[in-house]
């Protein structure tokens, strides 16, 4: 079945460590996105990519990095520079940028100990 | 400043009634607005999209209105069921981004 797969579902990290969250899609979508969700707040855009080998910063990109080497993959690295990394991270894709609905993965919950 | 506002307090209604959720926005001029459903610990799921030139859109028991003068969208669930209990998010396009509201939690009691 087509869809978006995020892994891991739960992740614990010590302060000062980098961690990479995986996002893979087999929907043949051009655009992919990373959002962060905190309790009582809406989804906030971290990074997005419209085509392979190109990506743009969202509203809260500081402390994060991404790559888009393949159409189906858009990993997110949470670096030690991110001050408050504990959150629920959501990856999404769409057929084309600014063309409508997003398809979301099941999310990755990161907890910094 | 730009804002998208959804009622942060939970909406509790009885099964069979119509649930109405509100999404207000300020200082945006969206070409379209979307509604998503999110269950606890899960990713949002797309429900409906309504464009700026559409007043109303329906899908089964769901109805969305879009008033660009009032800068407001209303989301209705008719004949609500306990299975409709979830958080509902509105989202609007802002140039090349989709901006989300904080969501409203709906609880339908039998």
| pLDDT one-digit tens code per residue, B22-63 | 999 998 888 899 999 999 999 999 999 999 999 899 999 999
Residue in B41, B42, B100 nearest the CB of A43: B100
Contact B12, B105 (CB under 8 A): no
Q: CA nearest B33 in A: which residue?
A: A100
Q: Using pLDDT thresholds of 50, 70 and 90, give the confidence band for residue A97.
A: low
The predicted model gives A23-40 an average pLDDT of 94
Is the minimum CB–CB distance between B90 and chain A shorter than 8 Å? no
Contact A103, A27 (CB under 8 A): yes
**Which chain B positions have a beta carbon within 8 Å of A24's beta carbon?**
none
pLDDT score at B94:
82
Q: Using pLDDT thresholds of 50, 70 and 90, give the confidence band for residue A1.
A: low
pLDDT score at A98:
61
- Between A39-53, A89-103, B33-47, the lowest mean confidence (pLDDT) is in A89-103
pLDDT of A13 strictly over 80 = yes
**Which chain B positions have a beta carbon within 8 Å of A33's beta carbon?**
98
Residues in CB range of B18: below 8 A, 6 or more apart? B76, B77, B78, B79, B80
Q: Are strands A10-13 and A76-78 parallel, antiparallel or unpaired?
A: unpaired
Is the minimum CB–CB distance between B110 and chain A shorter than 8 Å? no
Interface of B with A in 46-85 (CB under 8 A): 46, 49
Inter-chain CB proximity B101 and A42 less than 8 Å: yes
- Cα–Cα distance measured from residue B24 to residue B4, given in angstroms and rounded to the nearest whole number: 6
pLDDT score at B96:
75
- Cα–Cα distance measured from residue A61 to residue A45, given in angstroms and rounded to the nearest whole number: 8
| In the block, residue with structure tokens 């010590």 | A14
Contact A110, A87 (CB under 8 A): yes
pLDDT of A2 strictly over 80 = no
Q: What is the pLDDT of residues B7-22, one digit of tens each?
A: 878 999 999 999 999 9
Q: Is residue B33 helix, strand or coil?
A: strand
Backbone angles phi, psi at B33, to 5 degrees: -135, 145
């Amino acid at each position: 079945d087509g869809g978006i797969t995020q892994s891991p579902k739960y992740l614990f990290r010590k302060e000062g460590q980098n961690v990479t969250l995986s996002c893979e899609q087999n929907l043949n979508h051009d655009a992919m996105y990373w959002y962060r969700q905190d309790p009582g707040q809406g989804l906030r855009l971290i990074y997005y990519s419209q085509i392979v080998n190109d990506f743009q910063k969202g509203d809260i990109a500081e402390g994060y990095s991404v790559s888009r080497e393949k159409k189906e993959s858009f990993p997110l690295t949470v670096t030690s520079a991110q001050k408050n990394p504990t959150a629920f991270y959501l990856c999404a894709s769409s057929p084309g940028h600014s063309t409508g609905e997003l398809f979301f993965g099941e999310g990755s919950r990161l907890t910094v100990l | 400043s730009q804002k998208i506002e959804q009622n942060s307090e939970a909406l509790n209604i009885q099964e069979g009634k119509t649930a109405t959720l509100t999404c207000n926005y300020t200082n945006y001029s969206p070409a379209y607005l979307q509604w998503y459903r999110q269950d606890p610990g899960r990713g949002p799921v797309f429900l409906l999209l309504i464009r700026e030139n559409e007043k109303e859109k329906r899908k089964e028991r769901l109805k969305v209105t879009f008033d660009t003068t009032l800068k407001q969208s209303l989301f209705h669930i008719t004949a609500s069921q306990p299975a409709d209990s979830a958080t509902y998010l509105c989202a609007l396009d802002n140039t090349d981004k989709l901006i989300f509201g904080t969501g409203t939690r709906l609880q339908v009691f039998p």
